[in-house]
Amino acid sequence: MDKRTAIAKIKALAESGDTSGSNIEAVFARCYNAIKKTLDMTPFDEQLSAALSLSDGRMVQMQTGEGKTLAAVFAACAEALNGGGVHILTFNDYLAKRDYNWMKPVYDEMGVSVGYITESTDRVQRREQYKKQVVYLTAKEAGFDYLRDFVCFEPDDMVFPEELNLAIVDEADSILIDEARIPLVIAGDIAAQDSSDVAEVYEKLSGFEEDSEFEIDEESRNVYLTDEGADKAESIFSCNVYSSEGAPLLAKICACLKADAVLKEDKDYIVKDNSIILVDEFTGRAAAGRVFPGDLQAAVEAKHGLKITSRGRIMGNIALQYFARLYPKLAGMTGTAELAREEFEKLYGLSTDIIPTRLPCRRTDHPLEMYFDGAEKRRAVLTAIKEAAEIQRPVLVGTESIEESEELAEALRQNDISCAVLNAKNDEQEAAIIARAGEKGAVTISTNMAGRGVDIKLGGEDCRDKDFVTDAGGLLVLATSMRESSRITRQLRGRAGRQGDIGESRFFAALDDGLMTKFELKKLAGRHYPTQRISGAIQDKTLLKEADRVQRISEGDTFDERINLMKYTMIGEKHREQTFRRRKALLEGSYNSDQWQTHAPDMYEEAVKKFGENPLQEKQNLILAALLNEFWCDYLDYTAYLREGIHLTQVAGRNPAEEYNIACEEYYDSAADSIPERMAEKLGELLECDSIEEYEVQMPTRTYTYLLDDMAEEFKTKPLLLNIFDEEEPEPDKKTTPEKAPKEEKKGFFASLFGKKK
């Protein structure tokens, strides 16, 4: 049945009241009526179309204000009433709570239990919420709960569902692409390494000079010692920094130099309440709970004279893209799915459906305006804001950094133009300010994509001055630089022109913008690149065409990097799944360890006589669970160390990716082979105790969860690695490949490595 026919049937069933069936049309018809009854809203055909796509496990593109939240309710109810649990993964905690409260009356009417989880939800409440048929929460919170279960030692302490089913991902482009590589981390205070000496290293490097003693790779934003710098470091620290013993010191040196010379306050991070808060590179917003990798976090803290914080030893991690793949069924919603169609298909096996807007778009989108330098661009932006302010037209300005937003706001105040500034705010405050951005005369300065998921209504939240604002031209969206991805550009433009409203967008850039210099616009444009200062917007069409090309190059690079990075990390994901599954089985009682019986039978018999068979088995399971934590910590340490030097294998003519995967597999196998011996040592220690209770299993007394701002720079930033997959073996020719027994169709890039999701 095609969509048009299905929608007609749903509406007919809803009107007739004949909605008793369990098929999707009948459930949708009941939900249709429930929404009308409880929310006094009549769903649009476009929302029904989106809901059908979500139920079919597809990626849905719906523009801002078109009703993604409502569409998800249809799909969630259909799945829940047919026996499957649903997690709706939102962009932030505010949206999880808002959507739960907003849609709960519909679920209640449908007889579907619904809950929500935020960062402040305690463990007892989480366990109860996860029992609901539909749960609203962020991908981050769900992922942290999955990791926390890995460090639990009692089955009753575990909260994350044993069986997952469907995840509907809201703002999917951000969660599944922009933030997909960000690992969620759980760390514990077992054998945690002390980073306090980073402050001492930072102080001793104060005299190092760029170019002569260290160099900066602008593309990778990494720091490397020159020969002169290495000699100076060895003199200061009395250590060969390039020896195996000096490797940890070298890492600290490079981290301190990078913190000082590369990372900028109010652009890469902010200092707030005596702590370092990172700024998300895609949204430009403060990213609370995220830290720099390795020694870099401590180095930035040393830079500002702050207390060096302990993060514990990493006991488990998982990137969001892998966490999403834990769900057997996956669907998503975003306003820019079409622009990431290839990536959704290749990485997640998700086909994309474009849902047309209910009303024609009346927003005017102007082409990129290019200026000679930042000063010229700033004048143009200020002029555009002043002109809008004079007629009380609302303006939303998207800036590239927190620093830029503050500077622009100050310039506006000097011109007697009041404005609201959005950066480093909490999500609820931000949503409230964004919701008012369409008010008469409002000027809102924000970093990229502030307040995602919140509608900007012309005339304010109550639309009181909608006619006035409409006559003034609607919301004007200004962007102060070209973004790394056209998706971000589209998201910014999409803040105006909601549901057929009138609106306008203008985008500004300068020849000296970071993106333009990074991808060498000057070289691309050749003789069309101006050598003399130009006042006003540059009109050279060839130059403007090449500027647009810069964005496409940036998109291609980041897409290729994500694909390449996945090929390095897939082996680790396989090992993680194996280790987590075995440990969980131990605690749940579906698997009993026989390590002592098999590998230390004499000591085992002695222990049975001393402690009893059942208590000994329980203790053995607990000890093995703790040992698996230790085993996994060692594995993560090893792979982090391996990543630092794996690029050197290409010097010997070998493929770094292959060498990395081989080394990880060999280490995992050899470490696993050592478990019987390590377990026997534990049994020997146990036998020295007078009672079985006397033996204390080593567990973390405290754990931490955070996001690691680790984009695996050691892989993506080495030039020799960027194209190592360009000459992969071609796909087998179906005409020449011998026939095999038919297999279930596999979807997506993951499936090509590990098989179809079960």
All domains in the chain, ordered by first residue: 3-190+320-354 (3.40.50.300), 197-308 (3.90.1440.10), 362-556 (3.40.50.300), 592-690 (no CATH)
Q: Identify the weakest region by mean pLDDT among 162-166, 288-292, 710-714, 737-741.
A: 737-741
Average per-residue pLDDT for the chain: 85
Instruction: HSE, CB side, 13 Å, CA atoms: give it for residue 532.
Output: 1
Three-state SS for 442? coil
How many other C-beta atoms can be found within 10 angstroms of the C-beta atom of residue 391? 12
3-state secondary structure 476-502: EEEECCCCCCHHHHHHHHCCCCHHHCE
Rounded Cα gap, residues 531 and 83, in angstroms: 67
* Residue range 512-532, pLDDT digits in tens: 998 898 888 999 999 999 988
Give the residue among 364, 296, 663 at the shortest CA–CA distance from 503. 364
Give me the pLDDT at residue 736, please. Answer: 41
Give the residue among 352, 582, 451 at the shortest CA–CA distance from 94. 451
Give me the pLDDT at residue 72, please. Answer: 97
Q: Using 50, 70 and 90 to split pLDDT, how confident is the model at 348?
A: very high
Give the residue among 611, 608, 607, 604 at the shortest CA–CA distance from 691. 611
Q: Is the pLDDT of residue 180 over 90?
A: no
Three-state SS for 703? strand
Q: Is the pLDDT of residue 319 over 80?
A: yes
Q: Identify the weakest region by mean pLDDT among 148-157, 208-217, 458-467, 651-660.
A: 651-660
Three-state SS for 411? helix
Name 337's bridge partners.
none
For the chain, the 3-state helix, strand and coil shares in percent, each to the nearest 5, are 50, 15, 35
315, 186 Cβ separation under 8 angstroms: yes
Four-CA torsion 749, 648, 633, 202, nearest 10 degrees: -120
Q: What is the DSSP letter of 734?
A: T
- The model's pTM is 0.82
Give the residue among 74, 95, 100, 76 at the shortest CA–CA distance from 86. 76
Question: Which helix (H) or strand (E) segment is 446 a member of?
Answer: strand 443-447
Give me the pLDDT at residue 84, please. Answer: 93
DSSP string, 4-70: HHHHHHHHHHHHHT-----SHHHHHHHHHHHHHHHH-----HHHHHHHHHHHTT-EEE--TTS-HHH
Task: Retrieve residue 219's tokens.
Answer: 């593309």
Name 223's bridge partners.
216
Q: At what angle do helices 227-237 and 197-204 cross, to 10 degrees?
A: 120
Rounded Cα gap, residues 121 and 148, in angstroms: 14
Where is pLDDT greater, at 153 or 654? 153
636, 708 Cβ separation under 8 angstroms: no
Rounded Cα gap, residues 142 and 161, in angstroms: 10
Q: Where are the alpha helices (DSSP H) in 111-196?
A: 123-129, 139-150, 172-173
Q: Identify the weakest region by mean pLDDT among 132-136, 676-680, 695-699.
A: 695-699
DSSP string, 290-327: EE-STTHHHHHHHHTTPPPPP--EEEEEEEHHHHHTTS
Where is pLDDT greater, at 703 or 681? 681
Q: Is the pLDDT of residue 609 over 80?
A: yes
Give me the pLDDT at residue 743, please. Answer: 36
| Integer CA distances (angstroms), 536 to 22, 480, 607, 710, in order | 63, 15, 85, 40
Residue with tokens 């303006």: 395
Give me the pLDDT at residue 720, please. Answer: 29
Task: Retrieve residue 702's tokens.
Answer: 């405290």
- Phi first, then psi, for residue 123 (nearest 5°) are -65, -40
Q: Kindly report the CA angle at 348 between 346 and 350, in degrees rounded to 5?
A: 90
Q: Give the total residue count for the chain.
A: 758
Give me the pLDDT at residue 727, please. Answer: 35
Average of per-residue pLDDT across 179-199: 76
